[in-house]
Amino acid sequence: MATTALFFLFAGLAIACAISTVYHKNPLYSAVSLIGVFVSLSCIYITLAAPFIAAVQVLVYAGAIMVLVVFVIMLLNLDDDKPLQRLNYLYAVGAGLGLILLVQTFFIFYAVVKAPNKPQEESGVGKTLSIGSAMYTEYLLPVEIVGVLLLMAIIGGVILARRLSQPELELVVDNELEKRHENDQDDFRIAM
């Protein structure tokens, strides 16, 4: 009974944060609300006895992905836009689709309540031990392939991020030294 109450509490919090994500006009507030959605989903995973997925949800989505999103939002330095008046009909379309979604939700809830309760056997699905043992025994080759692909992506990103090749870099250093009139003194350039 307590897990059901916690499930509905975290589900309500996730829905409230999702509505807040869509409602705010400031993208930074929307990103913080989306972090609330991710943390609420992580708590729901904990109530469903899947601690590994909950930890991954917090680390990957609420941590890494949202830090990148907030970084891009702050980097863009978006100004407040004036609202568009020509798209007002979309409010009615959104309200209609939301009503249809609400009816579907109540139908699914009714169908689950009326379904016969069958005792379920305890399984190790979603547990850290079962995921780890499957990942490093049965699925070892795909895990290694993904690791190599990620390493290749990191190396490719580093190569693409280099802005200047070696001769252009030496030219920039020489031009900077000429501007400072430091040719008379010792040359403190790094050997390249």
- 40, 13 contact by CB (below 8 A): yes
Task: pLDDT band for 167, please (50, 70, 90 cuts).
Answer: low
What is the number of residues in the chain? Answer: 192
Q: Looking at residue 61, what is its pLDDT?
A: 86
DSSP result, 61-81: IIIIIHHHHHHHHHHHTPPPP
Count H helices and E strands in the chain, helices first: 8, 0
3-state SS class at 26: coil
Phi-psi region of 66 (alpha: psi -120 to 50; beta: other; left: phi over 0): alpha
First to last CA, the chain: 68
- 68-115 residue pLDDT tens: 888 887 777 666 666 667 677 778 888 898 899 889 888 888 888 888
> Which residues lie below 8 Å from residue 187, measured CB to CB, with a gap of 6+?
177
Q: Looking at residue 184, what is its pLDDT?
A: 53
* The architecture CATH gives domain 1-77: Up-down Bundle (1.20)
Question: Is this model's pTM higher than 0.85 or not?
Answer: no
171 CA to centre of own chain: 41
The pLDDT of residue 131 is above 90? no
Q: Return the closest-CA partner of residue 125 out of 39, 55, 53.
A: 53
Q: Give the tokens for residue 115.
A: 């379904």
Q: Give the tokens for residue 157.
A: 């990103």
Q: Looking at residue 13, what is its pLDDT?
A: 93
Q: Give the tokens for residue 49.
A: 């006895």
**6-15, 102-111, 155-164: least confident range:** 155-164
Q: What are phi and psi of 98, to 5 degrees?
A: -65, -40
Q: Please count the other Cβ atoms lying within 10 Å of the Cβ belonging to residue 57.
A: 21
- Identify the helix (H) or strand (E) that includes residue 28: helix 27-47
